């Protein structure tokens, strides 16, 4: 039979079978998910002894594991009571790394705990888990540092756990996220087309957008603190979240008029798409193009936007190198010449959680 499919209610001439072998089951089950301890991590922290397969060192040479359950190589395993495993002696002068694994052995038809002995070495390497379909499939729970001359054993945690499955929502994602289990990713599918599609995260710190998907978003950057900005001022920008709390943006403010834009002596400010975090202070880089050298300023000037430490800033202050002397350092930018343009692009941390510096 060239075609085989399973499992069905009954066997038929089209290749369907009602029973599956261990190997066939493994082929199916390993596509449903990876190896993991059968416990979902949802809390921000766990105390010793609160997780499955937690350990205790007994008599200095044995590791006692507490109850737990796991899926390894497509098969479910449960330890219903504590079990002690003896670590083999290490009489050599070098350290050894062993592993404690849950081993699914299809040749024996069982899943059990086991210790895999490593080789003593100056820089020891822990044995890699076996993953051979139809034969032996292992998942590591712990690495054990076995000191030379039968010294102390020191376990190191290598357990992997389940996490909440991602979910999708049509709208009202931020408001609905409070009902999600911590540790959940959520996709805003923007079913009404009013915004954009993005990925969010409900974690220990609350809810936040982790990244926008698809096209970037448009915004209109402000030229803050200008006293005489003309109505004809052209301002365009694009932005998106590229990581949790991390914004990429680009902005252009074009003064195509014959008006010199000024302030009352304070710095001009650049409007950002999201308020910048003020926990430390941030610096963004841009430039001013002044092709006709209006207002006695150069045709090309490097600009920096400073987000001061404090409550966060929506309109960081613009600075440029003093046009009088390099020794004078940087001055606030108080003027935008006629027929000039300001460009900025960069990445910064947004003030998602209203943090203060």
Instruction: Please write the tens of the pLDDT for every residue from 310-349.
Output: 888 999 999 998 877 778 889 999 999 999 999 999 999 9
Tell me which residue has tokens 């499939």. 137
Q: Is the dihedral of CA 15, 18, 20, 26 positive or negative?
A: positive
Express each pLDDT in 254-310 by its tens digit: 999 999 999 999 999 999 999 999 999 999 999 999 999 999 999 999 999 999 998
Place of tokens 């990581």: 243
Residue 191: its pLDDT value, please?
67
- Tokens (6 digits) for 97: 């790394």
Range list for CATH 2.60.520 in the chain: 36-161
Give the predicted TM-score (pTM) of the model. Answer: 0.84
Q: Which CATH number fits domain 36-161: 2.60.120, 2.60.40, 1.10.10, 2.60.520?
A: 2.60.520
Strands (E), 165-257: 167-169, 184-188, 198-203, 206-212, 217-219, 223-224, 234-243, 246-255
Alpha carbon distance 253, 265 (integer Å) = 20
């Amino acid at each position: 039979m060239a075609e085989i499919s399973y499992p069905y209610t009954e066997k038929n001439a089209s290749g369907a079978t009602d029973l599956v072998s261990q190997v066939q089951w493994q082929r199916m089950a390993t596509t449903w998910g990876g190896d993991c301890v059968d416990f979902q991590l949802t809390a921000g922290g766990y105390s010793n002894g609160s997780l499955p397969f937690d350990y205790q060192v007994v008599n200095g040479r044995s590791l006692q594991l507490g109850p737990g359950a796991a899926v390894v190589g497509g098969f479910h395993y449960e330890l219903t009571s504590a079990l002690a495993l003896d670590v083999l002696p290490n009489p050599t002068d070098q350290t050894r790394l062993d592993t404690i694994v849950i081993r699914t052995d299809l040749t024996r038809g069982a899943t059990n705990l086991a210790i895999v002995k490593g080789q003593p070495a100056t820089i020891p390497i822990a044995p890699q888990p076996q993953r051979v379909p139809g034969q032996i499939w292992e998942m590591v729970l712990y690495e054990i540092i076995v000191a030379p001359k039968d010294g102390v054993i020191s376990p190191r945690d290598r357990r992997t756990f389940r996490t909440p499955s991602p979910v999708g929502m049509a709208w009202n994602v931020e408001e609905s996220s409070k009902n999600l289990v911590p540790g959940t990713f959520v996709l805003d599918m923007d079913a009404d087309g009013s915004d954009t599609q993005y990925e969010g995260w409900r974690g220990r710190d609350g809810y936040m957008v982790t990244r926008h998907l698809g096209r970037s978003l448009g915004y209109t950057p402000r030229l803050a603190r200008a006293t005489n900005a003309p109505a004809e001022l052209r301002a365009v920008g694009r932005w998106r979240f590229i990581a949790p709390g991390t914004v990429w943006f680009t902005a252009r403010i074009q003064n195509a008029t014959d008006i010199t834009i000024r302030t009352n002596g304070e710095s001009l400010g650049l409007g950002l798409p999201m308020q910048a975090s003020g926990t430390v202070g941030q610096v963004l880089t841009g430039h001013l193009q002044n092709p006709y050298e209006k207002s006695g300023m150069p045709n090309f000037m490097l600009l920096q936007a400073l987000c001061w430490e404090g409550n966060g800033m929506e309109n960081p202050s613009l600075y440029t190198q003093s046009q009088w002397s390099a020794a004078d350092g940087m001055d606030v930018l108080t003027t935008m010449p006629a027929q000039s343009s300001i460009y900025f692009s960069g990445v910064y941390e947004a003030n998602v959680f209203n943090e203060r510096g």
